[in-house]
Amino acid sequence: MRNIAVKIMYDGGGYHGWQTQPNGITVQERMEKVLSELTGEIIAVCGCSRTDSGVHALEYVFNFKSNTGIPAERLPYAINTHLGNDGIAAVAAKDVSEDFSARFSSDGKRYVYKIWNSTLQNPFTAKYSWFVPYRLDVENMKIAAEKLCGKHDFSAFMAAGGSQKTTVRTIRECVVKESTEWREQLEVEVEADAFLYNMVRIITGTLVEVGTGRKTVEDIEKIIRDCDRRGAGMTAPPEGLFLKKVFYKPELLEW
Amino acid sequence: MRNIAVKIMYDGGGYHGWQTQPNGITVQERMEKVLSELTGEIIAVCGCSRTDSGVHALEYVFNFKSNTGIPAERLPYAINTHLGNDGIAAVAAKDVSEDFSARFSSDGKRYVYKIWNSTLQNPFTAKYSWFVPYRLDVENMKIAAEKLCGKHDFSAFMAAGGSQKTTVRTIRECVVKESTEWREQLEVEVEADAFLYNMVRIITGTLVEVGTGRKTVEDIEKIIRDCDRRGAGMTAPPEGLFLKKVFYKPELLEW
Decide: A155 and A222 in contact? Cβ < 8 Å.
Answer: no
Mean predicted confidence (pLDDT) in B242-247: 98
The answer to whether residue B106 scores a pLDDT higher than 80 is yes
Instruction: List, by residue number, the catalytic residues of B.
Output: 52
Total residues found in chain A within this entry: 255
**Rounded Cα distance, A15 and A26, in Å:** 5
In this structure, are residues B146 and B173 in contact, taking their beta carbons and an 8 Å threshold? no
Rounded-to-integer distance, Cα B115 and Cα A175, Å = 31
Cβ-contact B211, B138 below 8 angstroms: yes
Q: How far apart are CA A254 and CA A95, in angstroms?
A: 10
Q: What is the C-alpha to C-alpha distance for residues A229 and A206, in angstroms, rounded to an integer?
A: 11
pLDDT score, position B162: 66
Distance in angstroms (rounded) separating the CA atoms of residues B140 and B221: 14
Cβ contact B85–A126 (<8 Å):
yes
CA distance A88 to chain B (A): 6
pLDDT score at A164: 78
Q: Which amino acid is at B61?
A: V
Q: Which residues of B touch A10 (CB under 8 A)?
A: 123
Residue range A30-39: mean pLDDT, rounded? 97
Contacts of B126 in chain A (CB under 8 A): 85
Q: What is the pLDDT of residue B189?
A: 98
CB contact under 8 A, A80 and B120: yes
Nearest to B122 among A9, A121, A126 (CB): A9
CA distance A69 to A2: 9
CB pairs under 8 A between A and B: 54
Q: Which of B124, B131, B239 to mutate to test the interface with A (most CBs of A within 10 A)?
A: B124
Selected for mutation to probe chain A from B120, B122, B184, B255 (highest A CB count within 10 Å) is B120
B128-166 pLDDT per residue, tens = 999 999 999 999 999 999 999 999 999 999 998 767 789
State whether the Cα torsion A104-A190-A216-A184 is positive or negative.
negative
Angle between helices A199-212 and A219-226 (to 10 degrees): 150
Distance from CA of B93 to the nearest CA of A (A): 12
Taking all residues of chain B, what is their mean pLDDT, rounded to a whole number? 96
Q: Look up residue A105 and give its amino acid.
A: S
Average pLDDT over residues A116-129: 96
State whether A124 and B88 contact (CB < 8 Å). Answer: no
Measure CB to CB from residue B123 to each of A11, A119, A126 and give the nearest one: A11
Summarize the confidence of residues B80-92 as an average pLDDT.
Answer: 93
Whether residue A62 contacts residue A8, with contact meaning beta carbons closer than 8 Å, is answered with yes
Q: Are strands A108-116 and A130-131 parallel, antiparallel or unpaired?
A: parallel
Mutate to test the interface with B, among A124, A129, A180, A243 (most CBs of B within 10 A): A124
User: Do the chains contact at B124 and A91, CB–CB below 8 Å?
Assistant: no
Beta carbons within 8 Å of B148's beta carbon, 6+ residues apart: B171, B174, B190, B203, B220, B224
For residue range A205-232, what is the model confidence (pLDDT) as tens digits?
999 999 999 999 999 999 999 999 999 9
The span from the first CA to the last CA of chain A, in angstroms, equals: 21
The neighbour count for residue B130, using CB atoms within 10 Å, is: 22
**Contact by Cβ (8 Å): A195, A111:** yes
Q: Give the confidence band of A162 by pLDDT, cuts at 50, 70, 90.
A: low
Which of A52, A107, A193, A228 does the annotation list as catalytic?
Answer: A52
Q: Give the gap in angstroms from C-alpha B61 to the nearest C-alpha of chain A.
A: 16
Residues of B in contact with A90 (CB under 8 A): 120
d(CA A143, CA B243): 38
- DSSP secondary structure string for all residues of B140-186: HHHHHHHHT-EEEE-GGG--TT---S--EEEEEEEEEEE-SS-TTEE
Query: H/E element holding B7?
Result: strand B2-10
Which pLDDT value is given to residue B146?
A: 98
User: Which of the residues A120, A125, A178 would you substitute to probe the B interface, choosing the one with the greatest number of B C-beta atoms within 10 Å?
Assistant: A120
B10–A123 CB contact, under 8 Å: yes
Q: Answer yes or no: is pLDDT of A85 > 90.
A: no
The pLDDT of residue A165 is 86
CA distance B231 to A63: 50
Q: Are B184 and B118 in contact (CB under 8 A)?
A: yes
CB contact under 8 A, A10 and B89: no
Q: Which of A77, A88, A120 lies at the smallest CB-CB distance from B76?
A: A120
Q: CB–CB of B77 and A9 under 8 A?
A: no
Distance CA A90, CA A78 (A): 9
Residues of B in contact with A85 (CB under 8 A): 123, 126
Q: What is the pTM of this model?
A: 0.94
Coil, helix or strand at residue A137: coil
pLDDT for residue B43: 98
What average pLDDT does the segment A111-132 reach?
96
pLDDT tens, B164-208?
789 999 999 999 999 988 999 999 999 999 999 999 999 999 999
Q: Which residues make Cβ contacts (< 8 Å) with residue A90, sequence separation at least 6?
A: A6, A7, A8, A75, A76, A77, A79, A80, A83, B120
**Nearest CB to A121 within list B56, B89, B123:** B89
Q: Are B59 and B7 within 8 A, CB to CB?
A: yes
CA B93 – CA A183 distance, rounded (Å): 19
What pLDDT sits at residue B84? 84
Residue A68 has pLDDT above 70, yes or no: yes
CB–CB contact B124 A11 (8 Å): yes
Residue A74 distance to chain B (closest CA, Å) = 11
Q: What is the pLDDT of residue A160?
A: 83
- Nearest-angstrom CA–CA distance, B145 and B217: 9
Instruction: Name the band, by pLDDT with cuts 50, 70 and 90, for residue A21.
Output: confident
Query: Is B5 a residue whose pLDDT tops 80?
Result: yes
Residue A52 a catalytic site member: yes
pLDDT over threshold 80, residue A163:
no
